[in-house]
Structure 1
Amino acid sequence: MIFSAHEMAPADVYHTLTQIIIPRPVAWVLSPNDEAGDSLNLAPFSFFNAVCSDPPVLMLSIGTKADGTLKDSCRNLLERKRCVIHIGSEEQVQAISDTARELAFGDSELELTGQELVEFQGVGMKRLQGAPIAMACSLHQHIEVGNKPQHLLLVEVEQFWIDDAVCYRDDKGRTRVDADKVRPLARLGGSEYARLGEVFRVVRR
């Protein structure tokens, strides 16, 4: 089958892209609604990946709400320049899905899903308890892409936190993350998600 992107409605293009660009990692983003950080927003995004290692920069691509206004995570990052990105595990899939709901600004996804926070040492924000990986980030660059537009947010990782239970030191002294223990969630199309499945290695020739 052949489809011309130029002849497709934007919603159909989105529907197609999210079914063929798979699996996608899920960024579970905690961001402050106010300067004091007393009110927090929590939302998942699967238009997400790493784009640079020096400095460590991640990409979040965030659309708009149904009424065309900025999504809360985007608004918070543009205004307060900071967030904590979590890599959730498959056991957290229901909470991750529930935090995708479009709530009124200031309404708490944390209360909705019963998520608890713990101290993130050396960081001015807290992190989610139970998520195996957290990254404290600051806004690096904002780029508007497309017709709506879509907001491409590049964020720089300032501090990594990895649960000791999912990482170890290899024979070269490097920290290795055990993907089988992280059990990361993968996003597919529609309401579909996937588990990691079998992990295997390819020997370089």
Structure 2
Amino acid sequence: MLLTAQQMDPVDIYHTLTQVIIPRPIAWVLTPNDEHFTSSNLAPFSFFNAVCSDPPILMLSMGNKTDGSLKDSCRNLLERQRCVIHIGAEDQAQAISDTARELPFGESELELAGFEQVPFKGTDMPRLKGVPVAMACRLHQHLEVGNKPQNMLLVEVDKIWVDERACYGDDRGRKRINAELLRPLARLGGSEYAGLGDVFRKVRR
């Protein structure tokens, strides 16, 4: 099968890309609806990855709501310049999927997902209790790309919290994280998700 992107409808391109660029990590993004996180928005995005390590910058890409307005995560990030990005585990797949629903602004997805916020040490933001990875970030740059356009948000990581049960030190004294213990959830195409499956290490020759 050979596809020519310029001859395809954007919806078909989207579905094709999300089925061939797999697996994708999922950023489970917590943003404040107000200055003090008394109300929070929680949403997953799989157009997400690391793009720089010095400084540590992550990329989030998100479209708009069906009515054309900014998604709450984007609106909150632009207004308050901060967020907490979580990496959820396999057994949190249903909760992550549930928080993708489009709710009225100010209506929190936390109750829908059944998660609570706990203090994020070293920051003035909370993190989700029971989620294995959390990264406190601040907005670095906002770009609009594409014809609709799409919002591309670059955020700089300030603090990283990882569940201690997945952490260990190697024989060189470096901090290591056991991916099999994190059990991160990955996004595929359509309504499909995946876990890590078999983990292997490359053989040095």
What is the TM-score with the length of structure 2 in the denominator? 0.98
- 1:196 maps to 2:201: no
2:55 corresponding residue in structure 1: 55
Correspondence for 1:112: 112
Correspondence 1:172-187 to 2 at 5 A:
172-187=172-187
Hey, what does 1:24 align to over in structure 2? Answer: 24
Identity %: 71
Equivalent residue letter for 1:151: N
CA distance in 1, matches of 2:63, 2:203: 40
**Partner residue in 2 for 1:149:** 149
Residue type of the alignment partner of 1:158:
D
For 2:142 and 2:204, the matched residues in 1 are separated by: 38
Corresponding residue number in structure 2 for 1:72: 72
Q: Classify the secondary structure of the residue corresponding to 1:190.
A: coil
- Deviation per residue, 1:131-157 (Å, 9 max, x gap): 101000000111110001001100000
Number of equivalenced pairs: 205
Point out 4+ residue stretches in structure 1 off by more than 2 angstroms. Answer: none
Q: 1:98: which partner in 2?
A: 98
Q: Could you tell me which amino acid in structure 1 is paired with residue 79 of structure 2?
A: E
User: Alignment partner of 2:135: what SS?
Assistant: strand
Aligned to 1:84: 84
User: What whole-Å deviation, never above 9, does each CA across 1:99-128 have from its counterpart, x for those lacking one?
Assistant: 000000011100112111111011111000
Deviation at 1:6, TM superposition (A): 1.0
Structure 1: give runs of 5+ residues left out of the alignment.
Answer: none
Query: Do 2:37 and 2:126's aligned partners in 1 also have CA atoms closer than 8 Å?
Result: no
Task: Tell me how far 1:35 sits from its aligned partner.
Answer: 1.7
Q: State the distance in 2 between where 1:134 and 1:27 align.
A: 10
Deviation at 1:38, TM superposition (A): 1.2
Name the TM-score, length of structure 1 as normaliser.
0.98
Alignment of structure 1 residues 35-46 onto 2, 5 Å: 35-46=35-46
Give 5+ residue unaligned stretches, structure 2.
none
Give distance in 2, aligned partners of 1:19 and 1:67. 26
Q: Matched residues in 1 for 2:180 and 2:35: separation?
A: 38
Q: 1:204 offset after TM fit, Å? A: 3.0
Alpha-carbon shift at residue 203 of structure 1 (Å): 2.1
Q: Which residue does 2:33 correspond to in 1?
A: 33
Shift of 1:57: 0.4
**Cα deviation 1:5-38 (Å, max 9, x = unaligned):** 1111111110100000000000000000112221
> Take 1:15 and 1:183, find their aligned partners in 2: how far apart are those partners?
26
What secondary structure sits across from 1:121 in the alignment?
coil
Residue type at the aligned position of 1:76? N
The amino acid across from 1:16 in the alignment is T
- Output one character per residue of 1:62-108: Cα deviation in whole Å (capped at 9) or x when no partner: 11111111000011111100000000000100000000000000111
Correspondence for 2:11: 11
